[in-house]
Amino acid sequence: MGFKCGIVGLPNVGKSTLFNALTQTAQAEAANYPFCTIEPNVGEVPVPDPRLDKLAAIAKSAQILPTRLTFVDIAGLVRGASTGEGLGNKFLAHIREVDAIAYVLRCFEDDDVTHVEGRIDPAADADTVETELMLADLDSLERRRTNLEKRAKGQDKEAKAQIVLIDKALELLREGKPARLAEIEPADEQMWQMLQMLTAKPILYVCNVDEESAADGNAFSKMVQERAEAEGAVAVVISAKIEAELAGLDEAERVEYLADLGLEEPGLNRLIGAGYSLLELLTYFTVGPKEARAWTITDGTKAPKAAGVIHTDFEKGFIRAETIGYNDYVTLGGETPCKEAGKMRLEGKEYLVKDGDVMHFRFNT
């Protein structure tokens, strides 16, 4: 898998149009009225990586299997969603397990598309979304804390540790700040993640602009980008209309269409790239005559853990990893020439996998 991204936003910001375009499906009904998405929609897209095609061509692989990105789209949020307004709060549970959350923000003017609050202000929209997520976290943590108190009184060490983390989050949330601002010790990171707080997740700001602004953005998107930089977040400029057009074209037509617009790549590619950067992800490859396949891991992952992404047995019985750098594999023309040139390395359990590594794992069953 690549990563899982939740999509949130106010109604009529182009959220469902974007989801449809990115996943090239018609799962989410896009219409000019609030709450048209009444079920959470899930779609998967292959992560574009031209390196994989080059590796497959060299190895004459029968199949090409890219890593995949999952989008989870929920109903539009409105002010008061956390207390039952609209339909958004009903589906917030569906994005508690995602890796990152994309705030889709309206950065275009169109008199034919109403705004739920009667104005175009992406910064205010982001505040509304963030507030509703914070209130949802606040409610969830307060209820969880009540249940944990009983266990803590019985000297349950894990319950006590969870309460400490919950209190750290609650202090921020009650001040109107997201939980991701908390400083968490590495030893507590896993327990922190298990709390599944919406505002503890990294965020991507997706600026939905008009077609004319797709290449360089506009005043609205620049406002969002400044906010993202100040927060250490990431902002991506996308035109949902353009992405919807691209979804209906073949590859040659897409290239021509993008060139006419002055764009080098689709917005999906930029969104995925931003997500990988935000989450510090990288890709390694397994290549052979049967298939060439991409695998996504976190930067800093050691070889056994990377092997475990393929199968848990690979991690448990890990012996070593036969490793070739991507550039060596492509320049020399495959595994055998790399072996002959001494470019294949045998890496052990402490090896930190690098982006683009071509790997074959040796393991005991």
At 214-247, the pLDDT tens digits run 989 999 999 999 999 998 889 999 999 998 888 8
At 136-177, the pLDDT tens digits run 899 889 999 998 988 888 888 899 999 999 999 999 999 999
Order of strands across the sheet that contains 281-287:
63-65, 291-298, 281-287, 358-363, 318-324, 345-347
Please, what is the Cα angle at 45 between 286 and 29, to 5 degrees?
170
Token digits of residue 358 = 């071509």
Could you identify the residue written with the tokens 């390196």?
51
Provide the β-strand partners of residue 346: 322
> How high is the pLDDT of residue 232?
86
Q: Whole-angstrom Cα distance, residue 253 to residue 358?
A: 32
Cα dihedral 267→272→276→277 (10° resolution): 0
φ, ψ (nearest 5 deg) of residue 284: -120, 165
Handedness of CA 181, 186, 189, 192 (dihedral sign): negative
What is the SS3 assignment for 335?
helix
More confident call, 206 vs 28: 206
- Assessment of whether the complete model's pTM goes beyond 0.95: no
At 53-66, the pLDDT tens digits run 999 999 999 999 99
At 134-143, the pLDDT tens digits run 998 998 899 9
